[in-house]
Amino acid sequence: MVGNHSPAKEAPHARPHPAERHSRLPAPSARPACGGQVSHALARVARSHRTTAGHLLRRLGLYPGQELLMMRLWEAGPQRQSELIKLMELDPSTVTRMVQRLEQAGLISRCAHPGDRRAVLIETTPAGEALREEVEQVWRDLEERTVAGLTEADRAELSRLLSLLERNLATG
């Protein structure tokens, strides 16, 4: 991975005082007049989607989010970090760190921008380039799995609606 893992230890605590309240309420998933039908669904689906992407990307040594940055580089070639930030709509600090990790992983490299000493130029390394096919395959798999069972019309409709939502949320 572009990182790694490890173990654990113990801990205390525990507070007395039961007071056992039996609040057996109605079924958990009643769809109450809970304000956010679409919001909830969107959040759940997106998290699930991201987690699935994570599992697939894992074998390639990437974390979800990193593949998007790589894809931008593959498609648009070497570019300024500020360009990545703008296009991916991420916080500058997020990109800075992601870039640091990807560089350390040997997938990209940073170099000074000739002509603007503030800027950093970012480009893929051969190792990074080598991941392209696999990552794109992962995305095809993911997309297929995501919209499985939807008709062509459904997919188009979904894209249309998501675009509307994106517009709504952008302007605010």
Partner DNA sequence: GCCCATTACTTGGCCAGCCAACATAATGGT
Partner DNA sequence: ACCATTATGTTGGCTGGCCAAGTAATGGGC
**Residue 93 sits in the site that holds DNA (CB under 7 A):** yes
User: Which residues are within 8 A (CB) of 3 and not within 5 positions of it... i.e. 6 or more apart?
Assistant: 63, 101
Task: Give residues with Cβ within 8 angstroms of 68, minimum separation 6.
Answer: 88
Are 142 and 148 within 8 A, CB to CB? no
63 binds DNA (CB under 7 A): yes
Give 56's contacts (C-beta < 8 A, 6+ positions apart): 138, 141, 142
Q: Which of 61, 78, 82, 109 binds DNA (CB under 7 A)?
A: 82
Residues 6+ apart with CB under 8 A from 93: none
Among its own copies, DNA, none, the one that 134 touches (CB under a kind-dependent 5 to 8 A) is none
Of residues 9 and 21, the one with the C-beta less far from DNA: 9
Which residues, 6 or more positions from 150, have their beta carbon under 8 angstroms from its beta carbon? 158
Residue closer to DNA (CB basis): 96 or 137: 96
Q: If binding is defined by CB under 7 A, does position 97 make contact with DNA?
A: yes
Q: With CB cut-offs between 5 and 8 Å by kind, which of its own copies, DNA, none does residue 3 bind?
A: DNA
Nearer to DNA, 55 or 145 (CB): 55
Residues 106-145 that bind DNA (CB under 7 A): 110, 113, 115-120
Coil, strand or helix at 149: coil
Please give the residue ranges that form the binding site for DNA (CB under 7 A): 1-11, 13, 47, 51, 54-55, 63-66, 68, 80-82, 85, 89-94, 96-101, 110, 113, 115-120
